[in-house]
Amino acid sequence: MTELILSRLQFAVITSYHFLFVPLTLGLGVLVAMMETWYVRTGNETYKKMTKFWGKLFLINFAMGVVTGLVQEFQFGMNWSEYSRFVGDIFGAPLAVEALVAFFLESTFLGVWVFGWDRLPKKVHALSIWLVAIASNLSALWILIANSFMQEPVGYILRNGRAEMTDFLALITNPHIFYQFPHVVLSGFVTAAFFVMGISAYHLSKKNHLDVFRRSFHMAVVFGLISAFGVAGVGHLQGMHLVEAQPMKMAAAEAHWETENPAGLLLFASIDEQGQKNNSELKIPGLLSFLSYNRFTGEVKGIHELQTAAVEQYGPGNYVPPVTSLFWSFRIMLTAGMVLVLIPLVGLYFYKSNCLEQKKWFLRLALWMIPIPYIANTSGWYMAEVGRQPWIVYGLQTVEAGVSTSVSALSMLIAFAGFALLYAVLAVAEVYLLLKFIKRGPEEASTEETLKREIKGASLWT
C-alpha cells in the first residue's frame, strides 16, 4: 500500500514538474523559428536580436524539459514495472518511436543551432531551429499516442496475461489522440504566447528596446489569440468525445451524480463525496447536455448509474474517481481558458489602436498573466490523469495492479525524496536564470567579452 502511494505521489510530482517546461518548449520553439525566418527573409537585425533573446530563454527552459523527461521514460520500469509488463507490447512502441523519430532530431539540431551561428549558411541555420520546433511537437504527438492508449485502449487483444498489439494503425489513429494532441499542443502555443507577451509588456512599460518588444508582443498576441481559440474549440469537441469514451471522467468532473435529460451544468457545488451528493449547487439548465451533444437536450449519465454499470462489467469495486478535486480542476481550467482568450484579444485591440504603451495597467496585467496558462495546463492534466482513476489503463488494469512489486517502500521513498529535492534546487536555479536574462533584455553582446576577462584565473573548487 505504501509503495502504491509513494509511486503515485512520485508520478504526480515528477510528471507535473516535467509538464511545466514542455508546453513552453512546444510553443516558444515555433515562435523563435518564426523570428529567425523573418530575419533570414528581411535581413532586419531586430529579428536577429529577437531570435537570440527568446532563443536564450528557450534553451534554459529546454534543458529542464529534457532532463526531467528522462526520469519519465525510466520511472515506468522503476515504479510501475507490472504496468510495463502488462502494456509494454503496446506502450513501449510509441516511446521508442518518439526517441527514434523526434528526440534524436530535436537534440541533434538544437546542438547545431546553438553552435552553428557563424558556421552555417543562414538558411540552414534557420532550418535547424525549425527542425527542433517540429521535432518537439512530434515528440508530444508520440507521447500522447502512448497516453491515449491509457485513456482509451484500441488495437489490442488480451493474450498471455497482457495487452498485445494487433493493429498499429489503430493505435496511432486512436480517436482520443485527435482531440488530445491539438488540445495539448495549442495549449503549449498559448503558454509561449503569454510568456512572450508578458515579458514584452514588462520591457515596453520600461521603454527598453521598443523595436524588439513591439514586434515580439505583436507576434505573440496574434499567435496566442489563434491558438487560444483553437484550444477552446478543440476542448469542446474533446468534452463531447469524452462523454462517449470516458463517461465517468466527465460525470465526475461535473459532479453529476444522477442521470438527467436535459442535464444542467453546475457553476458551483458544495460536494459531499462520502454521501455521494451535492449539498448546495448553482445550476444552468440544459447546458451540460449542450456541452455533451451540441444541443440542449440529451441524456447525460450520472455517476451512480455509471458506477452500477462498472460493477456489472468489472466486478465489485469503487470506480468513482475523486469528484471534488476533479470538479474544481475542471473549473479552474475553464476559467483560465477564458482569460487566455480575453487577454490577447484586448492586447491586439490596444496594439492595433496604437495605444498599447499608454495602457500601463494592461502592460502590468500581461506580465502577471504569465502563470495563467501554466495553471490551465496543470489542471487540465490533473483532470485527464486523475479522471481515469482507478484505472491505469482504462478498463484494463487498475493503478494498484500496475505498481512494482519488487521495490521496497524505503527505496521508493529515497528516490522520491531525492528527485523532489533535486527538482526543488533546480527550480531555484532555473527561475534565477530566467529572471536574470529576462531583466537583462536582448543584445549586450559585449557582456560575453567582459565575462571572459573577469573570470580568467578562477579556480574550480573555490
Partner 1 sequence: MDLNILWFILITVLFVGFFFLEGFDFGVGILLPFLGKNDTERRVIINTIGPHWDGNEVWLITAGGAMFAAFPNWYATLFSGFFLALFLVLVAVIIRGVAFEFRSSDNSIRWRATWDGMIFTGSFLSSLLWGVAVANLIKGVPINAKMQYVGTFFDLLSPYAIVGGLTTLFVFTFHGALFLSLKTVGHMAERSSKAARSIGFIAIPVVLLMAGLTYLQTDLFNNLGAGITLIASGVALILANVLIRLRKAGWAFVVNGLTILLFTVSMFWGLFPRVMVSSLNMKWSLTIYNASSSPYTLKIMTIIALTMVPIVLLYQGWTYWVFRKRVTEKDLHY
Contact pick of 37, 116, 346, 365 for partner 1 (by CB under 8 A): 116
The answer to whether 441 contacts partner 1 (rule: CB under 8 A) is: no
Contact pick of 37, 107, 259, 325 for partner 1 (by CB under 8 A): 107
* DSSP run (H or E) holding 314: helix 303-314
- Nearer to partner 1 among residue 117 and residue 368 (C-beta): 117
Task: Give the integer Cα–Cα distance in Å for 302 and 295.
Answer: 18
- Nearer to partner 1 among residue 98 and residue 385 (C-beta): 98
Site for partner 1 in 35-74 (CB under 8 A): 59-60, 62-64, 66-68, 70-71, 73-74
User: Residue 169 burial by CB count (10 A; 0-12/13-18/19+): exposed, middle or buried?
Assistant: exposed
C-alpha grid cell, residue 460: 574550480
- Nearer to partner 1 among residue 104 and residue 296 (C-beta): 104
Contact pick of 46, 79, 137, 377 for partner 1 (by CB under 8 A): 79
Strands 277-284 and 265-272 come out as antiparallel
Q: How far is CA 410 from the centre of its chain?
A: 31
Nearest to 8 by CA among 307, 398, 333: 398
Nearest to 151 by CA among 395, 360, 408, 453: 395
Q: Hey, what's the torsion of the CAs at 438, 443, 449, 454, to 10 degrees?
A: -30
CB of 216 to partner 1, least distance (A): 21
Q: How far is CA 170 from the centre of its chain?
A: 24
CB of 167 to partner 1, least distance (A): 9
Site for partner 1 in 159-188 (CB under 8 A): 159, 164-166, 168
Contact pick of 129, 252, 326, 415 for partner 1 (by CB under 8 A): 415
Task: Give the integer Cα–Cα distance in Å for 32 and 39.
Answer: 10
Contact pick of 274, 279, 280, 462 for partner 1 (by CB under 8 A): 462
- Nearer to partner 1 among residue 99 and residue 282 (C-beta): 99
The answer to whether 443 contacts partner 1 (rule: CB under 8 A) is: no
Contact pick of 4, 114, 409, 420 for partner 1 (by CB under 8 A): 114
Residues paired with residue 144 on neighbouring β-strands, in sequence order: none
Applying CB under 8 A, which part among 79-87, 177-185, 210-218, 325-333 lies near partner 1? Answer: 79-87
- Nearer to partner 1 among residue 207 and residue 456 (C-beta): 456
CB of 337 to partner 1, least distance (A): 32
Task: Give the integer Cα–Cα distance in Å for 34 and 189.
Answer: 13
Task: Give the integer Cα–Cα distance in Å for 9 and 75.
Answer: 12
| Binding-residue total with partner 1 (CB under 8 A) | 81
